[in-house]
């Protein structure tokens, strides 16, 4: 149960509201540092533990995603009823500890179990954070705020790739896991001490139902009955398939096809993906909040157009043999691909009352991460393994090409969703 002592009943000032957004964004940075650290280390891990590309795809994608998305539902359900600040604190501490433990793995199974632990911890991160942001920021500023938070994903990639690549080169992949994991435990204590739990529905015009209790079945029925949500989740899931399919294999792609060392790949990918993706994520929210004032369909048309722009960039990143131009295209692709999340979450939250928002985020993340994170890296790895006998090192290049047709379908679905939204919902608090 929430108590008066744990909830901020006063309207927060702009400075403190922005402080909370920064703290939540930093939590998301830690989330992706720990999640993507494996990606920059995976070539070294593959050699020492004698793993296949399919096993690497399971470690960085499918197995992690299964626990991440399924446990996200009950944790979000708990967060909607209790203190979301506390949920995030415990989750951050857990996944940081399990990241440090990953460096002790001596086999595929041991590393798999450690990654499952990371997935369980990270399941309690984003859904409560999304709900807190929606309670701190009014509807007209919500997409921008959620996009600022989502940019933590890319700054986490930047930090994880730079730090992981350097530590791997100098001290080995085991040390990298330990050094990166411990700071998250310390930050969880700072987060608990300085962030207040906002009142449910604090920024909504209709707060009568903000503290109502809803069963999981009620939430699922409401979301399933909304054509907007169904099409939105499908469109976003396919885009996430492309994001993780390319992102999780980018270090291996540079190592095998462009003969780069892990430290050099980390130095290149960190700024390119981190800064490019962060700019794209922020721009997506800012554009939709501005364009959406006159026409709410822009909340979904902006992601659609950005994915269309990402397609030729992906082609260049995969098939150009010049390393500089390949990296440049990869950065542009990441920037355009990242513009979908803030607007998508703003639309999803507009479909439900405040008391359902954490659970709605969890359901949304279940769909997009099960399809995208779960199958993106895994499918690319499986295709690469199947093509290796005939294509050799080129197998990974052609395996990555699957993201091109999938991106086309994703963009088309975002356009369809924009049309459905006019009939299905009006964005409101």
**Within a domain: 3:** no
pLDDT given for residue 10 in this prediction: 56
Q: How many residues does the chain have?
A: 429
Of 133, 123, 144, the closest CA to residue 65 belongs to: 123
Residue 237: predicted pLDDT: 96
- The pLDDT score that the predictor gives to residue 190 is 96
| CB atoms near residue 371 (< 10 Å) | 22
The verdict on residue 5 lying in a domain is no
Looking at residue 22, what is its pLDDT? 95
- In angstroms, rounded to a whole number, what is the distance separating the alpha carbons of residues 365 and 369? 6
**Looking at the domain assignment, is residue 342 inside a domain?**
yes
Structure tokens at 204: 């909504």
Is residue 105 situated within a structural domain?
yes
* Residue pair 138/240 in contact by the 8 Å Cβ criterion: no
pLDDT tens, N- to C-terminus, the chain (429 residues): 344 434 545 567 889 999 999 999 999 999 989 888 888 898 899 999 998 888 888 887 777 788 887 887 888 777 777 889 999 999 999 999 999 999 999 999 999 999 999 989 998 888 889 889 988 888 778 878 888 898 888 888 889 888 998 899 899 999 999 999 999 999 999 999 999 998 876 666 555 444 556 667 787 888 888 888 999 999 999 999 999 999 889 989 999 999 898 778 888 888 888 888 888 888 888 888 888 888 888 889 999 999 999 999 999 999 999 999 999 999 999 999 999 988 898 888 888 887 777 788 878 988 998 898 889 988 999 999 999 999 998 999 999 999 999 999 999 999 999 887 765 544 444
Residue 176 within a domain: yes
Residue 245 contacts residue 403 (beta carbons within 8 Å) = yes
Q: pTM score, two decimals? A: 0.75
Domain count, the chain: 1
Q: Domain containing 291: what range?
A: 12-200+213-424
- With 0-12 / 13-18 / 19 or more C-beta atoms within 10 angstroms meaning exposed / middle / buried, residue 193 is exposed
State residue 204's pLDDT score. 60
**CATH number of the domain within which 20 lies:** 1.20.1250.20
3-state DSSP call for residue 7? Answer: strand
């Amino acid at each position: 149960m929430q108590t008066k002592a744990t909830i901020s009943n006063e309207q927060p000032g702009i400075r403190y509201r922005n402080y909370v957004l920064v703290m939540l964004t930093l939590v998301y940075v830690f989330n992706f540092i720990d999640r993507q650290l494996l990606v920059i280390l995976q070539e070294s891990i593959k050699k020492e533990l004698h793993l296949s590309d399919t096993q690497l795809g399971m470690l960085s994608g499918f197995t992690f995603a299964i626990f991440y998305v399924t446990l996200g539902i009950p944790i979000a359900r708990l967060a909607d009823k209790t203190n979301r600040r506390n949920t995030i604190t415990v989750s951050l501490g857990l996944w940081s500890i399990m990241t440090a433990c990953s460096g002790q793995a001596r086999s595929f199974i041991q590393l798999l179990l450690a990654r499952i632990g990371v997935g369980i911890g990270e399941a309690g991160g984003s859904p409560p954070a999304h709900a807190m942001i929606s309670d701190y920021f009014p509807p007209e500023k919500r997409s921008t705020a959620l996009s600022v938070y989502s940019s933590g994903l890319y700054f986490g990639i930047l930090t994880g790739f730079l730090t992981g690549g350097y530590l791997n080169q100098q001290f080995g992949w085991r040390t990298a896991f330990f050094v990166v994991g411990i700071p998250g435990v310390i930050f969880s204590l700072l987060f608990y001490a300085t962030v207040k739990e906002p009142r449910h529905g604090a920024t909504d015009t209709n707060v009568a139902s903000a503290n109502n209790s809803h069963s999981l079945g009620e939430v699922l029925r409401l979301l399933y009955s909304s054509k907007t949500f169904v099409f939105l989740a499908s469109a976003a899931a396919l885009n996430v398939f492309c994001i993780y399919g390319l992102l999780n294999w980018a270090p291996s792609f540079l190592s095998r096809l462009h003969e780069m060392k892990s430290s050099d790949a980390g130095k290149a990918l960190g700024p390119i993906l981190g800064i490019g993706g962060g700019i794209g994520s922020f721009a997506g929210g800012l554009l939709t909040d501005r364009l959406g004032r006159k026409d709410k369909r822009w909340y979904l048309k902006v992601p659609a157009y950005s994915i269309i722009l990402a397609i030729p960039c992906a082609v260049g990143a995969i098939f150009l043999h010049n390393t500089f131009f390949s990296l440049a295209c990869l950065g542009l692709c990441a920037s355009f691909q990242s513009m979908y999340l803030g607007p998508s979450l703003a639309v999803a939250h507009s479909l439900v009352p405040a008391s359902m928002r954490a659970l709605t985020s969890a359901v949304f993340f279940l769909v997009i991460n099960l399809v995208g994170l779960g199958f993106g890296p895994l499918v690319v790895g499986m295709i690469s393994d199947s093509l290796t006998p005939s294509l050799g090192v080129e197998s990974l290049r052609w395996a990555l090409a699957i993201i091109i047709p999938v991106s086309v379908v994703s963009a088309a679905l975002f356009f369809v969703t924009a049309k459905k939204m006019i009939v299905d919902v009006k964005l409101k608090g």
